[in-house]
């Protein structure tokens, strides 16, 4: 049902998508399948033509050859979704389209942009009266077509005009609510998407560690681990990532007949959103050790040179006997995986809360869990419990303080400690499990050795310290008579 475009194109489209690689095409098709008329545009027109030739029967597409035609095809206020590579390409598209737009129109960036870029672009376009909406979109190619989780930032005014369309094409949670909500102003949407990806990295790392332990210590073959994961997926770990991990582990390589996981080079790559999460967390001063370990684990895996140079280093002597059988060990690993997962989500939420306060975004923390229940890569049954925890107490300082999560993690701790100890004894690296446990222990410790760190800082740099029994800053004259003075 595609109409042809001319310079006198009538404004019939409710929404437009420019940038028609797979994500952009699938998003456009999703809108069309939901009965919306979609203007489609790509730098090379052949791609626009191919989309309409192949999928024109799915709904109403208005193919536009030029930027002018594309803009002319859009009803006002114009809603123009940009699906190009994050970075310079986005700026180039904005430069091309902004002069053609009018006040009240919207440019929506659906890529994985850095939230600081989104803030910059939003401020610049706001001066021209154009709304810029940085919208995180999760769920990959399949999600874009059949229902992603959408995290739009930008002004509340833009959401009033855009939200209903996005909610229409978004995934729906089990209770039928759309996995899309207005996250907050300017870069809030892209920030939250970045943290989503950081949590995704942590989840993937924890699952990888569970696999490694079951295989190396438990002696399970990949197919049996796939079965174990399938069982876990019927319980509290029920999630998309556990589900697809079982698929990957059950897969046999066609060419060799070997387990697929054994023919893949063990060097994890990254496009960079996990790294951004950690860099930003450092700037905000939020400890996200689970996410950081996941990023570093990918980095270590990619350092062939270091790994080669260290290959001959000795590991633990002999094969220490596991004190429990393989099945009991697998049950312990499930506990460790779950507890570590709760910790990394707790850290991710702390990061969103901190940024929300810092930038004045006023993000509804429970709503973020609600819109991640479907469509996105970290969709999981337990997100509904995170939603409920924040609904019960919007000021919850950490998920670990929620009674239900605290009880569960507390019950898991013996197994969690046993798994980390076993991993250490066997020489199996579990940075995710270990960092999560260390974070848990650090938070619950009545006293931390940070007091000693403060003493050292005061010793070598006169950096001062605070005391437990008196107000104020103090410095000790270490090289003299060691008398203390109040410095504030």
The residues assigned a catalytic role are 193, 200
Report the residue number, 63 or 110, with the smaller CB distance to ligand 6PG: 110
Pair of tokens at residue 204 = 């993937």
Asked if 344 touches ligand 6PG (CB under 6 A), the answer is no
Pair of tokens at residue 131 = 């709304």
Applying CB under 6 A, which part among 42-50, 264-272, 302-310, 340-348 lies near ligand 6PG? 264-272
Please return the burial class of 325, using the count of CB atoms within 10 Å of its CB with bins 0-12, 13-18 and 19+. Answer: exposed
According to CB under 6 A, which one of 30, 112, 280, 340 is a site residue for ligand 6PG?
112
Please return the burial class of 177, using the count of CB atoms within 10 Å of its CB with bins 0-12, 13-18 and 19+. Answer: middle
The DSSP annotation for 260-286 comes to HHHHS-S-----SHHHHHHHHHHHHT-
User: Which of positions 39-68 make contact with ligand 6PG (CB under 6 A)?
Assistant: none
Asked if 258 touches ligand 6PG (CB under 6 A), the answer is no
Asked if 377 touches ligand 6PG (CB under 6 A), the answer is yes
* Spatial distance between the Cα atoms of 419 and 437, rounded to a whole number of angstroms: 11
* Spatial distance between the Cα atoms of 80 and 430, rounded to a whole number of angstroms: 45
Asked if 270 touches ligand 6PG (CB under 6 A), the answer is yes
Please give the residue whose beta carbon sits closest to ligand 6PG in the complex: 138
Applying CB under 6 A, which part among 13-21, 119-127, 270-278, 423-431 lies near ligand 6PG? 270-278
Applying CB under 6 A, which part among 268-276, 278-286, 351-359, 456-464 lies near ligand 6PG? 268-276
Cβ 87 to ligand 6PG, closest distance in Å? 13
Cβ 42 to ligand 6PG, closest distance in Å? 21
Asked if 302 touches ligand 6PG (CB under 6 A), the answer is no
Asked if 466 touches ligand 6PG (CB under 6 A), the answer is no
Three-class DSSP category at 69 = helix
Asked if 271 touches ligand 6PG (CB under 6 A), the answer is yes
Q: Are 62 and 37 in contact (CB under 8 A)?
A: yes
Residues contacting ligand 6PG: total by CB under 6 A: 13
Asked if 171 touches ligand 6PG (CB under 6 A), the answer is no
Report the residue number, 59 or 187, with the smaller CB distance to ligand 6PG: 187
**Of the candidates 118, 164, 171, which has an alpha carbon nearest to the alpha carbon of residue 144?**
171
Asked if 233 touches ligand 6PG (CB under 6 A), the answer is no
Other CB atoms closer than 10 Å to residue 14's CB: what's the count? 18
Contacts with 231 (C-beta within 8 Å, 6 or more apart), sequence order: none
**Of the candidates 377, 365, 349, which has an alpha carbon nearest to the alpha carbon of residue 288?**
349
In angstroms, how far is the first alpha carbon of the chain from the final one? 75
DSSP letter at 99 equals G
Cβ 376 to ligand 6PG, closest distance in Å? 5
Asked if 200 touches ligand 6PG (CB under 6 A), the answer is yes
Q: Are 399 and 342 in contact (CB under 8 A)?
A: yes
Q: Enumerate binding residues for ligand 6PG (CB under 6 A).
A: 112, 138-140, 197, 200, 269-271, 273-274, 376-377
């Amino acid at each position: 049902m595609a109409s042809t475009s001319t310079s006198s194109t009538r404004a019939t489209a409710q929404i437009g998508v420019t940038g028609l690689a797979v994500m952009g095409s699938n998003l456009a098709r999703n809108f069309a399948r939901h009965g919306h008329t979609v203007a489609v545009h790509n730098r090379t027109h052949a791609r626009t033509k191919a989309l309409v030739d192949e999928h024109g029967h799915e709904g109403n597409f208005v193919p536009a050859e030029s930027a002018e035609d594309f803009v002319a095809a859009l009803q006002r206020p114009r809603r123009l979704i940009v699906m190009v590579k994050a970075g310079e390409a986005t700026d180039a598209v904005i430069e091309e389209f902004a002069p053609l737009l009018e006040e009240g129109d919207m440019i929506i960036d659906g890529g994985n942009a850095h939230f600081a870029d989104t803030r910059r672009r939003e401020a610049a376009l706001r001066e021209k009266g154009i709304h810029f909406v940085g919208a995180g979109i999760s769920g990959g190619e399949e999600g874009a077509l059949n229902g992603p989780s959408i995290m739009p930032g930008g002004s509340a005014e833009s959401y009033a005009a855009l939200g209903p369309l996005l909610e229409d094409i978004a995934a729906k949670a089990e209770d039928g609510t759309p996995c899309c909500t207005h996250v907050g102003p300017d870069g809030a949407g892209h920030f939250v998407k970045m943290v989503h990806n950081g949590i995704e990295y942590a989840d993937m790392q924890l699952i990888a560690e569970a696999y490694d332990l079951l295989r190396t210590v438990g002696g399970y073959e990949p197919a049996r681990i796939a079965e174990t994961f399938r069982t876990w997926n019927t319980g509290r770990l029920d999630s998309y990532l556990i589900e697809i991990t079982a698929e990957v582990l059950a897969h046999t390589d066609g060419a060799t007949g070997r387990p697929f996981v054994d023919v893949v080079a063990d060097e994890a790559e990254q496009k960079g959103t996990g790294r951004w999460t950690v860099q930003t967390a450092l700037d905000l001063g939020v400890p996200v050790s689970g996410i950081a370990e996941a990023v570093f684990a990918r980095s270590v895996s990619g350092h062939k040179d270091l790994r080669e140079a260290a290959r001959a280093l000795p590991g633990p002597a002999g094969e220490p006997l596991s004190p429990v059988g393989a099945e009991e060990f697998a049950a312990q690993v499930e506990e460790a995986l779950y507890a570590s997962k709760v910790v990394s989500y707790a850290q991710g939420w702390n990061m969103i809360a901190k940024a929300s306060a810092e930038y004045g975004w006023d993000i509804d923390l429970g709503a973020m869990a609600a819109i991640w229940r479907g469509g996105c890569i970290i969709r999981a049954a337990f997100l509904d419990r995170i939603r409920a925890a924040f609904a019960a107490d919007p000021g919850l300082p950490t998920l670990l303080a929620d009674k239900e999560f605290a009880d569960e993690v507390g019950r898991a701790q013996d197994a969690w400690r046993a798994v980390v100890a076993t991993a250490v004894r066997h020489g199996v690296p579990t940075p995710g499990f270990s960092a999560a446990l260390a974070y848990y222990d650090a938070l619950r410790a009545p006293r931390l050795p940070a007091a000693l760190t403060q003493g050292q800082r005061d010793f070598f740099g006169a950096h001062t310290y605070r005391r437990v029994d008196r107000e104020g800053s103090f410095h000790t004259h270490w090289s003299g008579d060691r008398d203390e003075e109040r410095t504030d």
